Amino acid sequence: MSLISMEFLLFVIAAVTGYYLIPRRFQWVWLLAFSYIYYVSGGIRVTCFLLFTTVTTYFAGRWMEQASQSMQDKKEEKKRKKQILAGTLILNFGVLGVLKYTNFMLDTISSITGGEFEPLTLLLPLGISFYTFQSMGYLLDVYWGRSQAEHNLFRFALFVSFFPQILQGPIGRFGSLGRQLYASHSLDRKNIEGGFLRILWGYFKKMVIADNAVIFVNAIFDHPDLYDGLGIVGVLAYSIQLYCDFSGGMDVVLGIAKLFGIQLDENFKRPYFAVSITDFWHRWHITLGTWMKDYVFYPVSLSGWMKSFSKFAKKTFGKQTGRTLPICLANLIVFLVVGVWHGAAWKFIIYGLYNGLIIAFSGLMAPSYRKWKKALHISDDSRAFHLFQIFRTFVLVNISWYFDRAGDVKTALLMMKHTLTKFDLRQILEPGIDVGEASGTAYTMIALGVILGGCLLLFLVSVLQERGKDLTELFIRQNWMVKAFVYLCLILALPVFGQPSGEAGGFIYAQF
Amino acid sequence: MEQLLEILEDIQPDADYETCETLIDDGILDSFAILSIVSELQDEFGITITPADIIPENFNSAKALYAMVERLRAE
């Protein structure tokens, strides 16, 4: 059931209406029922994988709790919990790995050995990366004592399957999400009005901006030889498409959750205003970043072998560099995982390592940067320096988008070369070149105007939010005529300026 | 406490560690700084810090950090 369909809209209306009509103690049961109806509508067979993760993680949590309560010997207890944790992690990440990466591994092996490769047809359950990460996060929290194990299997099943977020996140934490899912909620006008506004804003970003931008992106990236002068247009359009597609999807998801009175974690905070790549990852796909930080970066950095490396590095390179080097190595490992998470292809591995290397380099150079800035009298508060940092980061991010979107590494590098050597904006205006033909949607100047107009509106909203203005709160305070006008404008913009969803396709991150 | 303040000043000089109680919440210490502090604390005080200890409550102020060090030394 696509998020952009009348079917889904009716499904949400039914879910929300019933949620507030039934006795409050059954609200979480109602959400669980709707979550499973939603997931099963995607296929019975894929639901088995969801059930597998739910059941194995639930029992692993309970066994760990029992080990803590029944075993007197702390060492034995730790050992037992570690075994349970390791077994469950291997099982669940094993399923994810086999389903997602088998073809990539076989392809790589056959290209090394020179053999023939026939891709296997494997099921890929919807949202498997998201619900697996969320569940394994819960288990690690129980292991470290940050969360209590959930005693009710059905309540836990809701935490894993909550329907608005299961397809593309945000990746929730049991501590905050679980508590909200199981609590009872009464109908709150602010939640309904704010949630509805956010849903419409999300659809606007997706259908009006992203789905118009995709026309240019597909034409240019899928035909790099034909549009070799438009590399810069392609990558800028992709940066718009990706942001509006993913963050628009998140707006819809967070808006729907808000209708139930549930506040999911924010996944985006105006990432293109970031002043460094580190800052970018604090603003882009935030819940994946914090998941990686808490469950990969810190554990890897504090592992025994990393401590040994740290001692060696301090002896060899001195205190400061020796202290930072192991952190840089752990950071590279994290971004390698981030790259692999994005897809089974070398271009994603390069995409991850590219980000990791920049952050590691910045970490190593931080003391030098501080000295240089002091010597040159550059203040972090300077407006000009701030704008320079934003521009520099935007350029670095766009370089990574070439790898993310291009068909393969070779094409990405060729397109980057053409961007610098063959820039020719006239290609977009020349009669006879139909930029949109490749995606099956005719390119018009209107599409270009819609993207620019949409981006201008998005920019203005983002600037206000960046300055700390709560626009939803401001909206709620308006009289009904203003609210009706805003709702109407957003609703009308979707069919008038948006591309039909069949042409542009679903959300990019729903494939993960 | 003085030893701890010296470590903090050395790793991230631009913060007022005497009064600030939102080192994590306000993003003054990022993950690189946190791990640098952890590395130094482990070396200086002979303690073992695990991922379970890396929570904002333990890193939001010099006072909280000191309390964590004292707790881990006693264990």
Q: Which of A306, A262, A57, A71 is nearest to A162 (CA)?
A: A262
Task: For residues A202 and A492, give the distance between their C-alpha atoms in angstroms, rounded to a whole number.
Answer: 14
**Residue that wins the pLDDT comparison between A111 and A162:** A162
Contacts of residue A432, Cβ cutoff 8 Å, sequence gap at least 6: none
Q: Are A327 and B35 in contact (CB under 8 A)?
A: yes
Q: Is the dihedral of CA A379, A385, A387, A389 positive or negative?
A: negative
Q: Give the pLDDT confidence of A342-373 residue by residue, as tens digits.
A: 887 888 899 999 999 999 888 888 888 888 88
Any idea which residue has 């894929």 for tokens? A46
pLDDT score recorded for residue A430: 59
A302 contacts B50? CB cut-off 8 A? yes
CA atoms within 13 A on the CB side of A497: 25
The answer on pLDDT for A207 being more than 60 is yes
Count of other CB atoms within 10 angstroms of residue B28: 17
Chain B residue with minimum CA distance to A301: B35
What pTM was computed for the model? 0.87
**DSSP assignment letter at A41:** T
Q: Are A202 and A251 in contact (CB under 8 A)?
A: yes
Q: Which of A185, A260, A202, A206 is nearest to A35 (CA)?
A: A260
Task: For residues A97 and A305, give the distance between their C-alpha atoms in angstroms, rounded to a whole number.
Answer: 25
Distance from CA of B8 to the nearest CA of A (A): 13
Q: At what angle do helices A211-222 and A445-466 cross, to 10 degrees?
A: 120
Kindly state whether A298 is in contact with chain B, defined as any CB-CB distance less than 8 angstroms. yes
How many beta-carbon pairs below 8 A join chains A and B?
43
Interface test with B, best of A301, A325, A374 (most B CBs within 10 A): A301
Q: What is the separation of C-alpha A115 from the centre of its chain, rounded to a whole number of angstroms? A: 36
Q: Could you give the residue ranges of the DSSP H alpha helices within A277-408?
A: 277-283, 286-292, 298-301, 304-317, 319-342, 346-375, 383-405
Domains belonging to chain B, first-starting first, are 2-74 (1.10.1200.10)
Task: For residues A212 and A473, give the distance between their C-alpha atoms in angstroms, rounded to a whole number.
Answer: 30
Which chain A positions have a beta carbon within 8 Å of B32's beta carbon? 278, 324, 327, 331, 363, 366
Count of other CB atoms within 10 angstroms of residue A226: 15
Q: Could you give the residue ranges of the DSSP H alpha helices within A22-73?
A: 27-40, 44-70
Please give the average per-residue pLDDT across A383-399, as a whole number.
94
**DSSP assignment letter at A266:** P
**Residue A291: pLDDT band with limits 50, 70, 90:** very high
Structure tokens at A119: 């891709």
Q: What proportion of chain A, given as a percentage, has pLDDT over 90?
A: 55
Q: Are A145 and A139 in contact (CB under 8 A)?
A: no
Asked if the interface predicted TM-score (ipTM) of this complex is over 0.90, the answer is no
Q: Is A11 exposed, middle or buried (0-12, 13-18, 19+ CB in 10 A)?
A: middle
Distance from CA of B9 to the nearest CA of A (A): 12
- Residue A280 phi, psi dihedral angles, 5° rounding: -55, -45
Count of other CB atoms within 10 angstroms of residue A391: 11
Kindly state whether B46 is in contact with chain A, defined as any CB-CB distance less than 8 angstroms. no
Query: E strands, B1-75, where?
Result: none
Torsion of CA A366, A371, A375, A380, to 10 degrees: 40
Q: Are A447 and A212 in contact (CB under 8 A)?
A: yes
Task: For residues A397 and A351, give the distance between their C-alpha atoms in angstroms, rounded to a whole number.
Answer: 10
Structure tokens at A398: 């766009």
Structure tokens at A376: 């040159």
Kindly state whether A363 is in contact with chain B, defined as any CB-CB distance less than 8 angstroms. yes
Which chain B positions have a beta carbon within 8 Å of A85's beta carbon? none
CA atoms within 13 A on the CB side of A323: 22
Which chain B positions have a beta carbon within 8 Å of A324's beta carbon? 32, 36
The answer on pLDDT for A457 being more than 70 is yes
**Residue A5: pLDDT band with limits 50, 70, 90:** confident
Which chain A positions have a beta carbon within 8 Å of B35's beta carbon? 298, 301-302, 327, 330
Torsion of CA A463, A464, A466, A472, to 10 degrees: -130
**Residue that wins the pLDDT comparison between B73 and A139:** A139
Mean pLDDT of chain A: 88
Choose from A239-253, A413-427, B43-57 the range with maximum mean pLDDT: A239-253
Q: At what angle do helices A128-144 and A74-113 cross, to 10 degrees?
A: 150
Choose from A101-105, A191-195, A439-443, B9-13 the range with maximum mean pLDDT: A191-195
Please give the average per-residue pLDDT across A274-278, as a whole number.
93
Q: What proportion of chain A, given as a percentage, has pLDDT over 70?
A: 95
Q: Could you give the residue ranges of the DSSP H alpha helices within A145-204?
A: 153-161, 179-182, 189-203
pLDDT score recorded for residue A509: 66
pLDDT score recorded for residue B10: 85
Q: What is the separation of C-alpha A468 from the centre of its chain, rounded to a whole number of angstroms? A: 23
Kindly state whether B51 is in contact with chain A, defined as any CB-CB distance less than 8 angstroms. yes
Task: For residues A231 and A402, give the distance between their C-alpha atoms in angstroms, rounded to a whole number.
Answer: 9
Q: Is the dihedral of CA A217, A221, A224, A228 positive or negative?
A: positive
